[in-house]
Structure 1
Amino acid sequence: MPTATQKSAERVLIVEDEILVAIDIESVLGEMGLAPVGIAADKTSALRLAERADVALVDINLRDGPTGPQIGRDLAARGITVLFMTANPEQLGNGVPGTLGVLTKPVADAELRQAIRFAVSRREKERHAPPRSLQLFDSAA
């Protein structure tokens, strides 16, 4: 349960179809004191859970195909801070407008934590440094 001193950007949606990867991310979020709102393996599930999220970690290739970029666009349009995590960053080209950037999988837990802190800090108008492994999109500058 959040305390009065905690900021609002602590609800994180995991959009990932590999359950072991999703559970590992969920564990990292819990260790950081953030609240995972759920795991979505496809576009329909992601959009259903979106109303409960502040930040989303989004894979590109999901159960329903390469729907990650469209999910990212839709979530960003709803005011959700979107960070992509994928083994195929080239599929994003120069990025997806309104989203932060992309981490190339596999991602070390320390890099994941730093990227999540960066994404949350963007919502809180603070400036945490992104991890070196995070490729920022032009729209995130």
Structure 2
Amino acid sequence: MSCRILVVEDEIFVAIEIEHVVSQMGHRPIGIAADSRKAEELAGEAEVALVDLNLRDGPTGPAIGRMLAEKHGVTVVFVTANPSQLGEGVPGTLGVIPKPVNDDEMRQAVSFAIAHRQRQEAMPPASMTLFSADTSRLAS
């Protein structure tokens, strides 16, 4: 089943590569948001979002992730070179995968996020750290 995926990333070449991987998987990238304004604009169309922390308008990724999850019901995975900036995680979001991310890890992270959204059992990529608030539903 095809899923609508938002890429929140200000490095255009990274964002394009993520969109390419998502498209190859048969999913529909709905756009690239380089800042919180664009993320808010596209939020209503997204089912899953891949969110960097440090964007064009500063370190707004955690707030964007929280807004997407809580206000729009989007399944959020953070993709960042600075996972420690998230501490114990962001309420409502799924987890974080560290950059650099190879295409196979990205495919696994996207597949895991979609399976989680559809309440199906799946294994996250080995490099992904899950946030505790969401892990209880996975242990079954």
Report TM bin, short chain.
Answer: over 0.9
Map of 2:120 onto structure 1? 126
Matches within 5 A, 1:1-141: 6=1, 10-77=3-70, 78-141=72-135
TM, length-normalised to structure 1: 0.93
TM, length-normalised to structure 2: 0.94
- Structure 2 counterpart of 1:121, one-letter code: A
Map of 1:3 onto structure 2? none
Count of aligned pairs? 134
Aligned CA-pair RMSD: 0.8
Partner SS, residue 121 of structure 2: coil
Uncovered stretches (5+) of structure 1, i.e. residues with no partner: 1-5
Q: Distance in 1 between matches of 2:128 and 2:134?
A: 12
Q: Distance in 2 between matches of 1:101 and 1:25?
A: 17
- Structure 1 counterpart of 2:26, one-letter code: G
Q: Distance in 1 between matches of 2:134 and 2:12?
A: 29
Runs of 4+ in structure 1 over 2 Å off: none
Q: Distance in 2 between matches of 1:31 and 1:129?
A: 21
Q: Distance in 2 between matches of 1:130 and 1:119?
A: 8
